[in-house]
Amino acid sequence: MEILAYGVQTDERPLLEAAFAGRHDLRCLSASLNRDTAPLAAGVPAVCTSVNAELTAETLKLLAAGGTRLIAQRSTGYNNIDLKAAADLGLTVSRVSAYSPNSVAEHAWGLALAVNRHLTRAANRTRDFDFRLDGLLGRDIHGMTIGVLGTGRIGACFARIAHGFGTELLGWDIAPNPDCLDLGMTYVDRDELLTRSDLISLHVPLLPETRHLIDATALALMKQDAILINSSRGGLVDSAALVESLRSGRLAGVGLDVYEEEAGVFYTDRSVEGVTDDVLARLMTFPQVVVTSHQGYFTRTAVGQIIAATVRNVDDFAEGRTGANTLVAGIR
């Protein structure tokens, strides 16, 4: 079966091509899938998309009109896909339901350590042979109270690492995770977690009820010198409210691997033309903010698992099967 893969990163391409070799005819594009690039898939029965694809009803109609029957997304999250429109159009949609939780949890801790110890500023200084320590004072993670919003597979990994640092663990979720309880985590309501925590990390899915989980009210509850980390979904944080909180002198550090308007910006080179998103541009002017481009999943282990699951999803579709990764079972 012919497949057009969108949003393929340079390091990802050889892994994708090797996995599909001898099974399906794969072509790779660096461009993300949206209404403008959808016509490139005309006559192709399957597309393979990245998390930043804009799979609106309009995009899906264009794909369906061109003969596409399968959308195989290379991610766990699927809030970027209009599933109702896909079902109405008879499209099959699959995702990757799980991959290495360590990849995202470790990256979240990388962001936490970077903002706490001012590593980006320090590295930039020493490249200019400025070896002063002014403004680089951090805090011990040991002894901190760590708040984990969402204690599923990734949140639990984040908590295990936090436990290794010697921290007090607070958790918030719809139900306690026994693995986290074994670490000594205490489950509390969201407001108590925000009020008590020195460092807060987000690991919940983006749903209507979790959109802007961290809004102006939530930010006001946090300690003046709290650290906020988001490696889950950008829409969990009200970015405009975060800017205002930082402008008022609150929060010692913010680490973001995701941003609510990242589609069309992340995974692209904007070094020449810059960005037109004023909120993102403003966020990146604060010295205590570190932003990475949705790369938490981007380890050889995790990408390998994602690709292997995607190949299985395509094989399932080609052979008329559905599975745990099928979000919408369309007309074949």
**Catalytic residue check, 262:** yes
The reply to whether 92 and 217 lie within a common domain is no
Confidence of residue 317 (pLDDT cuts 50, 70, 90): very high
What pLDDT, in 10s, does the model give residues 103-145?
Answer: 999 999 999 999 999 999 999 999 999 999 999 999 999 999 9
Average pLDDT, the chain: 96
The reply to whether 93 and 108 lie within a common domain is no
**Catalytic residue check, 24:** no
Rounded CA separation 45/173 (Å): 40
**Catalytic residue check, 294:** yes
Helix 300-318 vs helix 101-116: angle between axes, to the nearest 10 degrees? 150
Region 19-43 average pLDDT: 96
SS3 at position 284: coil
Location of structure tokens 């903002």: 115
**Domain region containing 223:** 101-291
Q: What is the pLDDT of residue 330?
A: 82
Q: What is the pLDDT of residue 97?
A: 92
Helix 101-116 vs helix 119-127: angle between axes, to the nearest 10 degrees? 70
Rounded CA separation 44/327 (Å): 20
- 210 and 236 Cβ atoms separated by less than 8 Å: yes
What pLDDT, in 10s, does the model give residues 275-302?
Answer: 999 999 999 999 999 999 999 999 999 9
Integer angstrom CA distances of residue 247 from 240, 276, 281, 283 = 11, 20, 14, 10
Residue from 69, 118, 153, 233 carrying the catalytic annotation: 233
Q: What is the pLDDT of residue 19?
A: 96
The reply to whether 88 and 108 lie within a common domain is no
What pLDDT, in 10s, does the model give residues 190-244?
Answer: 999 999 999 999 999 999 999 999 999 999 999 999 999 999 999 999 999 999 9
pLDDT for residue 332 is more than 70: no
The reply to whether 140 and 189 lie within a common domain is yes
Residue from 54, 294, 312, 319 carrying the catalytic annotation: 294
Domain count, the chain: 2
The reply to whether 108 and 213 lie within a common domain is yes
Residue from 12, 54, 260, 262 carrying the catalytic annotation: 262
Domain containing residue 195: CATH number = 3.40.50.720
The reply to whether 107 and 67 lie within a common domain is no
Rounded CA separation 160/215 (Å): 27
What pLDDT, in 10s, does the model give residues 146-181?
Answer: 999 999 999 999 999 999 999 999 999 999 999 999
DSSP H stretches of helix in the chain: 13-20, 57-65, 83-88, 101-116, 119-127, 153-165, 178-182, 190-196, 216-221, 239-247, 278-283, 300-318
Percent of the chain with pLDDT over 70: 100
The reply to whether 223 and 287 lie within a common domain is yes
